[in-house]
Structure 1
Amino acid sequence: MLTALLFDLDGTLTDTDTLHLQAFRQLLREQDGRELTQAQFDAQVSGRANGELFAELFPGASTAQCQQLADRKEALFRELAPALEPMPGLLRLLAHADTHGIGMCVVTNAPRLNAEHMLSAMGLRPRFEHVLVAEELPRAKPDPLPYLTGLQRLGAQAGQALAFEDSLPGVKAASGAGIFTVGIATTQTPERLMAAGAQLVVDDFEDARLWDLIATMQA
């Protein structure tokens, strides 16, 4: 029985990685003239929480300085994203969940300001009662805690849920929580998503295999 859908945000509900890459590039150029390639972004940045990431990007900076740099980068991102488009098929899936009484939750490594901005920029904020962000939990993805917390908030069991993720840390977190994890191939290859723990990989929410899976879980 399908009772819960848990969604990552960046790259899953909307394709934002190009905008994040632009924001990171602008920040690094401002700070020390560094460049960031697409390959470096995909391998080292995408899907990670800011705390660990910025300490790695700026090893000589204090914790307070890292937080200031992260805040600057996220402000740049929000400036680049005044409006965002939901991934193809997402609105159909949300409507299906509403019709069938399936609980929904956002589980993201993005900061609270970004999460609220992105959902509002898509016109989707009222659709999600629960929006869990890593900075408000003891551990971020790839730890399973964010997804375990999402299940708890929805009153759902892992075996009755689906998780949707585009990043390797996110897939590891969701699959580590025991949830059937659907990889969304916006930022990583299907092969890498499967190796991280995804059990199905699709391009977007229109994929017939996803809807077959949903029908099977609701049968």
Structure 2
Amino acid sequence: MSSKPMCKGVIFDMDGVLIDSHPIHKKVWAQFLASLNKQVTEEELDFVLEGRKREEILRHFLGDLSAELVTEYGKRKNMIYEETSSELKTICGVEEFLGALESAGIPMAVATSASFVRARNTLAALGILPRFAAVVTGNDVVNGKPDPEVFVRAAERLNQVHQDLLVVEDAVSGVMAAKSAGMKCLGIAADGRSEKLRAAGADRVIPNYREFGLLQIQQLF
């Protein structure tokens, strides 16, 4: 008789999942693009929230760029981001949620399209970096979400099979990537995007972590 499947690891996206960074993220991109005389609307800026790698975002707004320009523009954008990073805070209930997972011995990883420098600095500044056994960033993969590569790399570092892992995501492309990897997916949506995440394949969608714990995780498996 086979045993009931259990969650043996949780992989978190970063922006909008661990960190309430979306408003700042959009503001920084708008400021950076304006410095290049590129004006964009609020709706157009929603593209930066879809889990894309930085080079994809740059080329989306600025067209075909050389690798050298991608690197230079990335550094300039990061400098603007660093100036606003003190405004960052964690998503409601996330620290208690991470603590419960840690106490239960469930390993955790971060899988984000953000750069290595931004991801590590942000997680460290908020005091949650030590909780994660692995941090996989946009620098570690060739293909961005919705390709599952970033989650596959995280699973390898956690040394767990895909069907035993839960991904926590807030973007349609991230949900698609998680399901493509054969993992369970919990959606985080506090701004009316719940239906989009469900349509993309999320197994459950919640507004924040306040009333979600270990029991609810295991019920997904």
Residues 129-153 of structure 1, C-alpha deviations (whole Å, 9 max, x = no match): 2100122222222111111111111
In structure 2, the residue matched to 1:128 is 132
2 CA distance for matches of 1:135 and 1:193?
Answer: 26
Query: Which 10-residue stretch deviates more, 81-90 or 108-117?
Result: 81-90
In structure 2, the residue matched to 1:145 is 149
2 CA distance for matches of 1:93 and 1:159?
Answer: 21
Instruction: State the one-letter code of the partner of 1:163.
Output: V
Structure 1 residue matching 2:187: 3-state secondary structure: strand
1 CA distance for matches of 2:187 and 2:110?
Answer: 15
**Structure 1: gaps spanning 5 or more residues:** none
CA 27–217 in structure 1, closer or farther in 2 if over 3 Å, else same: closer
2 CA distance for matches of 1:217 and 1:28?
Answer: 41
Residue 204 of structure 1 and its aligned partner are, at CA, apart by: 0.8
Match runs of 1:5-154 below 5 Å: 5-32=10-37, 34-42=38-46, 44-46=47-49, 47-82=51-86, 84-154=88-158
Q: How many residues align structurally? A: 215
Alignment root-mean-square deviation, CA: 1.9
| Contact 1:134–1:141, Cα closer than 8 Å, also in 2 | no
In structure 1, the residue matched to 2:3 is none
Residue 212 of structure 1 and its aligned partner are, at CA, apart by: 4.1
2 CA distance for matches of 1:169 and 1:60?
Answer: 22
Instruction: State the one-letter code of the partner of 1:213.
Output: Q
Query: Which 10-residue stretch deviates more, 97-106 or 151-160?
Result: 151-160
| Contact 1:165–1:181, Cα closer than 8 Å, also in 2 | yes
Identity percentage of aligned residues: 29
In structure 2, the residue matched to 1:169 is 173
**Structure 2: gaps spanning 5 or more residues:** 1-5
| Contact 1:142–1:170, Cα closer than 8 Å, also in 2 | yes
| Contact 1:11–1:187, Cα closer than 8 Å, also in 2 | no
1 CA distance for matches of 2:128 and 2:36?
Answer: 34
Residues 180-204 of structure 1, C-alpha deviations (whole Å, 9 max, x = no match): 1111115661111112221111111
1:202 matched to 2:206? The reply is yes
